Amino acid sequence: MSQHDRTHHAKIATGKGDPQCFKGTAGPAKFKVGQTVRIKDLPDVFYTRCQVYTRGAVGQVAVVTHESPAPEDEAWGHVDHSEWFYIVRFKQKDLWPEYPAAFANDTLQTEFSERWLEAV
Amino acid sequence: MVEEVSDFEALEIAVRELAIEKGLFTAEDHRRFTEFAEHIGPTPAARMVAKAWLDPEYKKQCLTDAIKASLAVGVDWLNPTGFGTPSDYTDLRVLEDTPTLHHVVVCTLCSCYPRPILGFQPEWYRTPNYRRRLVRWPRPVLAEFGLQLPPEVEIRVEDSNQKCRFIVMPVRPAGTEGWTEDQLTEIVTRDCLIGVALPRPGMTTNIPLPVHKPAKPGHH
């Protein structure tokens, strides 16, 4: 019989919500809005929510969103370590080399946990 | 709807029955939750946008604390069903369009969607076709929905890949001067809230998409 507590998440999230239940657990945020960052190309085992199309790309932090365990940990039930999350804005032409020059203003935003970002 | 039980449906039934046997929730809890989930639609989110168009203070709240702003349209993200845990992650963000910026939402990894305020995803939102193509070719995909925007308008794709959930707040269209909140709510369709359409007077339903049968059916 597994000793894993399957009601753990319900206990911490009821009445507070998730990610609010992890508020105050990640320490100071490493990056700030407007900062230029590069997405690391880390290996991922079994599970990640960092899209391959963003690996190595450079963008700007648009929003510092919330604190939460990273999905790569949470997928295994490890929720003791939280990280800050960031919505990063990219120019589409920096993600897709063939993106039409006529639409050079177009952008894309997506979110990363802190481990995926490095200052440029 | 699928005509036969798929592998995923069989898996859902198995997990549900095991959870009930184990006492994690009861069959009655499941029935009540299903009833709740199937009754929510895009109307609360549409009303949120209509209210924000009419009330600048409320709009400010939508843009800074959308979870709190949801209460004014009858959606309590923290306790949406009146029992149990929240039914989704609870970090809603409202993306404000301007005359030179248009947002459109996708989840490339699965089909993350602000269900407590917008109901279930349309089938196309869940397809790999929409998810894979929108991030890379947003303009051709939007054109398939009948939405073509000039190059001066920046298209910003929001890939909803973590715990944040998103709705688009479009620009209030011309021709709606003096309209009431109810009238405005009617033209903010689900497609407008995802960002694949723009609201316009007289348009109160989503445009049906043509569905083509695949030449070589595959599995995903």
Is residue B110 among the annotated active site residues? yes
Task: List the domain range (segments joined by +) for residue A101.
Answer: 8-119
Backbone angles phi, psi at B167, to 5 degrees: -130, 155
| pLDDT score recorded for residue A93 | 96
Is residue B62 among the annotated active site residues? no
Q: Do B155 and A106 touch (CB under 8 A)?
A: yes
Q: Do A109 and B155 touch (CB under 8 A)?
A: no
| pLDDT score recorded for residue B219 | 64
Statement: residue B90 has pLDDT above 60: yes
Distances (CA, A) of A41 to A53, A83, A92, B51, B56: 10, 18, 19, 43, 42
User: Element (H or E) spanning B66, and its range?
Assistant: helix B66-70
B143 interface with A at CB cutoff 8 Å:
no
| B108 CB-near residues (< 8 Å, 6+ apart) | A51, A53, B131, B132, B134, B135, B159, B161
pLDDT tens-digit series, residues B95-104: 999 999 999 9
For residue A59, the Cα-to-chain-centroid distance in whole angstroms is: 14
| pLDDT score recorded for residue B82 | 78
pLDDT tens-digit series, residues B48-57: 999 999 999 9
In chain A, the N- to C-terminal Cα span, in Å, equals 48
pTM score, two decimals?
Answer: 0.92
B173 interface with A at CB cutoff 8 Å:
no
Residue A49 has its nearest CB partner, among B22, B139, B162, at B162
B62, B107, B160, B192: which is the annotated catalytic residue? B107
The tens place of each residue's pLDDT in chain A, 120 residues long, gives 456 777 788 888 888 999 999 999 999 999 999 999 999 999 988 899 999 999 999 999 999 999 999 999 999 888 899 999 999 999 999 999 999 999 999 999 999 999 999 999
| pLDDT score recorded for residue A1 | 47
Q: Name the least confident of A16-20, A36-40, B32-36, B173-177.
A: B32-36
B111, B160, B164, B192: which is the annotated catalytic residue? B111
B86 interface with A at CB cutoff 8 Å:
yes
Residue B162 has its nearest CB partner, among A53, A85, A106, at A85
ipTM of the complex: 0.95
The chain B residue lying nearest A68, using CA atoms, is B163
pLDDT tens-digit series, residues B103-160: 999 999 999 999 999 999 999 999 999 999 999 999 999 999 999 999 999 999 999 9
Is residue B112 among the annotated active site residues? yes
Report if residue A3 sits inside a domain: no
Mean pLDDT of the residues in chain B: 92
Contacting residues of A for B24, CB less than 8 Å apart: 6-7
B18 interface with A at CB cutoff 8 Å:
no
Query: Averaged over B26-41, what is the pLDDT?
Result: 89
Q: Do A111 and B164 touch (CB under 8 A)?
A: yes
Q: Do B139 and A109 touch (CB under 8 A)?
A: no
pLDDT range class, residue B88, cuts 50, 70, 90? confident
Distances (CA, A) of A90 to A54, A60, B58, B101, B108: 9, 7, 30, 15, 16
Q: Which of A51, A44, A20 lies closest to B164, judged by CA?
A: A20
Q: How many CB pairs under 8 A join A and B?
A: 102
CATH 3.90.330.10 spans which residues of chain B?
42-194
Residue in A105, A112, A117 to test binding to B, most B beta-carbons within 10 Å: A105
Number of domains in chain A: 1
Report if residue A1 sits inside a domain: no
Statement: residue B1 has pLDDT above 50: no
Report if residue A2 sits inside a domain: no
Statement: residue B169 has pLDDT above 90: yes
Domain B42-194, what fold?
Nitrile Hydratase; Chain A (3.90.330)
Residue B24 has its nearest CB partner, among A6, A71, A85, at A6
| pLDDT score recorded for residue B3 | 62
| pLDDT score recorded for residue A99 | 97
For residue B111, the Cα-to-chain-centroid distance in whole angstroms is: 10
CATH of the domain at A19: 2.30.30.50
